[in-house]
A and B are shown apart, each in its own frame.
Chain A
Amino acid sequence: MTGQIRTRSGPAQHGTAPAEAAEDRGAAVRLTGLRKRYGQLAAVDGVELTIAPGEVVALLGPNGAGKSTTVDMLLGLTTPDAGRIRIFGQTPSAAVGSGTVGAMLQNGALLADVTVGEIVGLVAALHRTPLPVAEALRRAGIADLAGRRCGTLSGGQQQRVRFAVALVCDPDLLVLDEPTVAMDVTSRRQFWQAMRAYTDTGRTVLFATHYLEEAEEYADRVVLMRAGRVVADGSVAQVRAAVAGRTLRAVLPGGARPDRLLALPGVNRVDVRAETATLACTDSDAALRALLAAFPLAHDIEITAVGLEDAFHALTGRPDQTDQAGPTDQTGEDQPR
């Protein structure tokens, strides 16, 4: 229901030492020891996360990783069992009340029977220091839709209305939960253009997504979650490096026995299909030298760096499940309420 949980401090009352308060103010988001259980399931199991002002952070993870629960707690929609949340030094409800945080929810429905201008206007009227409605519509790229009823819009258009609703309070932190779900390629590109324009003004953004390429392209920093915990956190390059190594692929005429390939230096995983061998290497240079010595006829040699997607699969460790975590499948993270 609509209750704003107006706790003055976090549910687990950490003593706010002066140093901690100063750290709180210096950070856009500070999550400490955040936990939430639903029955037997530890949806969020000790998340620690600090986001600096101006950062654009992607929150990645398979379904059920705890992304949406984390986002809900950050926004004060769900009460954590334990832990502390600060947004620019404020509690979630204070941050919502002061318009410091704006959010685009995954299932934040619009009212079908009101126009785009009315709904954005209403949210603006509820906030104390909003942007002019026309400005919010322009920034979301929907100035031409102001007179349309929300119920008549396409999925992509509705997402951009939600974006306008999220930014009309002129927030310092913008939180987006799966913002481009239900968008086609063109709307997705338009959406991220609008986002770019926004982040260029130095605002902080946290977005949860299934799309690795979006994280790779738009985020300064990637936070990977699995089973309620942060399993990797860093720049796209750092996260890639966390699963250090490269992939060596070569055609070996006549084929080769996998155990022979695995015995090569710097190789830790082998996959042979017909004459093509794919070697996951910790040291691709050493592996290549040894490979050429052992298989002089090897040809069509390719060495590639690990992509974010491989890093994601390696770090979240459940490739079979992450494969299902397609953009259309969102049920896994909807917690009982």
Chain B
Amino acid sequence: MNTRYLVLELRRLLRSSRFLIFTLAMPAVLLLVFTGLYGGAGATFPNGIPVSTGLMINMATYAAMTAPLFTGTRVATERGTGWQRQLRLTPLSSTAYLLTKGLTALLIAVPGLVLVGAIGALVEGVRLSAGQWLGVLGGVWLAAIPVAMLGLAIGLLANQDTVQPVGSGLMMLFGLLGGVWVPAEAAPDWMLGIMRVMPTYWMNQVAKAPLLADAALGRAVLVLAGWTVLLGLVGAWRFRTATAR
């Protein structure tokens, strides 16, 4: 690991307007829009969570999902342009390269999370204890690890041309069917079945856990760990076949 490389990777992402729009602006704007539409004063979901709080948690999940996914897919671009070949002529190991990308993916999700939290607290009047804030935002952040792995796996599997549609497609799938844009509480039963396969559904469950007495935190952690292991294996396999030549 090389800190200078990590810092440069973070700076590169912050320079990309596309990245800022999709990971910072989108969740924040959607939060304002959704709360304006559905977050009438005092409305609550059946589980007792106020609608404004629930929507904020969903947009935090969205922010925590989109940045790591976007970051990982850049691996495909760097392979396509030949930058990886250049890096192979330095002492940076391939493991350190992937670690840097993964860590970048997680760290770069922080600004979006903080922004969503700030809008929730300052604009939408979400009131949580300090412990709950930490549990919600920190929990969803850690729960994004499998998504960061997924981004890397896509980056390793796809090429420069396919990585964009694959990435956006997954983003849509997770957003719509993962209980992010359509709250799981409002979904019909058949849809809930599909949602429970998506990692984002469980990210969302982790984020809500500090607010619920009967949270299925253990199960959520188990599913997310399963995703992490699975994607890790796919990534490692792909990585080995890609480097053997």
A joins B in a complex:
yes
Known contacts A79-B245, A99-B91, A123-B90; A2 and B84 CB within 8 A of each other:
yes
Known contacts A2-B243, A4-B93, A96-B91; A125 and B4 CB within 8 A of each other:
yes
Report B72-101 CB contacts with A as 1/0, cut-off 8 Å.
000000010111111111111110011000
In contact, A113 and B82 (Cβ under 8 angstroms): no
Q: What is the chain A residue whose CB lies nearest that of B4? A: A125
Query: Once bound together, how far apart are the Cα atoms of A3 and B244, in whole Å?
Result: 8
Q: What is the chain A residue whose CB lies nearest that of B156? A: A1
In contact, A126 and B85 (Cβ under 8 angstroms): no
In contact, A96 and B88 (Cβ under 8 angstroms): yes
In contact, B88 and A2 (Cβ under 8 angstroms): yes
**Residues from chain B with Cβ under 8 Å of A2 in the complex:** 84, 87-88, 92, 94, 97-98, 243
Nearest Cβ distance between residue A286 and chain B, in whole angstroms?
A: 54
Report A88-131 CB contacts with B as 1/0, cut-off 8 Å.
00000000111101110101111101100010011101111000
Cβ of A257 under 8 Å from chain B: no
In contact, B94 and A1 (Cβ under 8 angstroms): yes
Interface members, chain A 1-31 (any B CB < 8 Å): 1-5
Nearest Cβ distance between residue A69 and chain B, in whole angstroms?
A: 11
Known contacts A2-B97, A108-B82, A126-B5; A113 and B91 CB within 8 A of each other:
no
Stretch at the interface among B8-16, B131-139, B173-181, B195-203: B8-16
Nearest Cβ distance between residue B36 and chain A, in whole angstroms?
A: 35
In contact, A114 and B89 (Cβ under 8 angstroms): no
Interface members, chain B 1-26 (any A CB < 8 Å): 2, 4-5, 8, 11-12, 15-16
Is chain B's interface secondary structure helix, strand, loop, or mixed overall?
helix
Which of A1, A3, A108 is the one whose CB lies under 8 Å from B86?
Answer: A108
Which of B8, B82, B244 is the one whose CB lies under 8 Å from A107?
Answer: B82
Cβ of A267 under 8 Å from chain B: no
**Residues from chain A with Cβ under 8 Å of B16 in the complex:** 113
Which of B4, B12, B88 is the one whose CB lies under 8 Å from A77?
Answer: B88
In contact, A109 and B86 (Cβ under 8 angstroms): yes
**Residues from chain B with Cβ under 8 Å of A122 in the complex:** 4-5, 8
Query: Once bound together, how far apart are the Cα atoms of A109 and B89, in whole Å?
Result: 13
**Residues from chain B with Cβ under 8 Å of A75 in the complex:** 89
**Residues from chain B with Cβ under 8 Å of A103 in the complex:** 89
Q: What is the chain B residue whose CB lies nearest that of A162? A: B86
**Residues from chain B with Cβ under 8 Å of A5 in the complex:** 243
Interface bin, chain A: 35 or more
**Residues from chain A with Cβ under 8 Å of B34 in the complex:** none
Query: Once bound together, how far apart are the Cα atoms of A2 and B91, in whole Å?
Result: 11
Query: Once bound together, how far apart are the Cα atoms of A102 and B90, in whole Å?
Result: 9
Known contacts A1-B84, A108-B86, A118-B8; A125 and B242 CB within 8 A of each other:
no
In contact, B91 and A127 (Cβ under 8 angstroms): yes
Cβ of A78 under 8 Å from chain B: yes
Query: Once bound together, how far apart are the Cα atoms of A118 and B15, in whole Å?
Result: 14
In contact, A113 and B12 (Cβ under 8 angstroms): yes
Query: Once bound together, how far apart are the Cα atoms of A5 and B85, in whole Å?
Result: 12
Nearest Cβ distance between residue A100 and chain B, in whole angstroms?
A: 11
Query: Once bound together, how far apart are the Cα atoms of A2 and B89, in whole Å?
Result: 9
In contact, A102 and B243 (Cβ under 8 angstroms): no
Cβ of A260 under 8 Å from chain B: no
Which of B12, B91, B245 is the one whose CB lies under 8 Å from A111?
Answer: B12
Query: Once bound together, how far apart are the Cα atoms of A76 and B238, in whole Å?
Result: 20
Known contacts A103-B89, A337-B245; A3 and B94 CB within 8 A of each other:
yes
In contact, A108 and B91 (Cβ under 8 angstroms): no
Which of B12, B91, B98 is the one whose CB lies under 8 Å from A126?
Answer: B91
Nearest Cβ distance between residue B116 and chain A, in whole angstroms?
A: 26
Which of A107, A109, A121, A128 is the one whose CB lies under 8 Å from B91?
Answer: A128
Query: Once bound together, how far apart are the Cα atoms of A96 and B86, in whole Å?
Result: 11
Query: Once bound together, how far apart are the Cα atoms of A155 and B49, in whole Å?
Result: 58
Q: What is the chain A residue whose CB lies nearest that of B238? A: A1
In contact, A114 and B83 (Cβ under 8 angstroms): no
Determine which residue in B2, B90, B98 has the highest number of CB atoms from chain A within 10 A of its CB, and name it: B90
Q: What is the chain A residue whose CB lies nearest that of B8? A: A122
Query: Once bound together, how far apart are the Cα atoms of A303 and B46, in whole Å?
Result: 100
Cβ of A251 under 8 Å from chain B: no
Known contacts A105-B86, A108-B86, A111-B83; A4 and B94 CB within 8 A of each other:
yes
In contact, A109 and B82 (Cβ under 8 angstroms): yes
Which of B2, B89, B90, B239 is the one whose CB lies under 8 Å from A3?
Answer: B239
Cβ of A169 under 8 Å from chain B: yes
Cβ of A248 under 8 Å from chain B: no
Cβ of A165 under 8 Å from chain B: yes
**Residues from chain A with Cβ under 8 Å of B12 in the complex:** 111, 113-114
Nearest Cβ distance between residue B74 and chain A, in whole angstroms?
A: 10
Query: Once bound together, how far apart are the Cα atoms of A185 and B239, in whole Å?
Result: 42
Query: Once bound together, how far apart are the Cα atoms of A165 and B82, in whole Å?
Result: 14
Determine which residue in A2, A76, A108, A125 has the highest number of CB atoms from chain B within 10 A of its CB, and name it: A2
Q: List 7 A-B contacts (CB under 8 A).
A: A1-B84, A4-B88, A79-B245, A97-B91, A108-B86, A111-B12, A126-B5
* List of 10 A-B pairs having minimum Cβ-Cβ separation, nearest first: A3-B243, A109-B81, A1-B242, A2-B94, A109-B82, A125-B4, A126-B90, A108-B86, A3-B94, A107-B82
Beyond contacts A99-B91, A125-B5: 14 other A-B pairs, Cβ-Cβ < 8 A, are: A2-B88, A3-B242, A4-B93, A75-B89, A77-B89, A79-B244, A96-B89, A109-B81, A109-B86, A110-B86, A113-B12, A113-B15, A126-B5, A165-B86
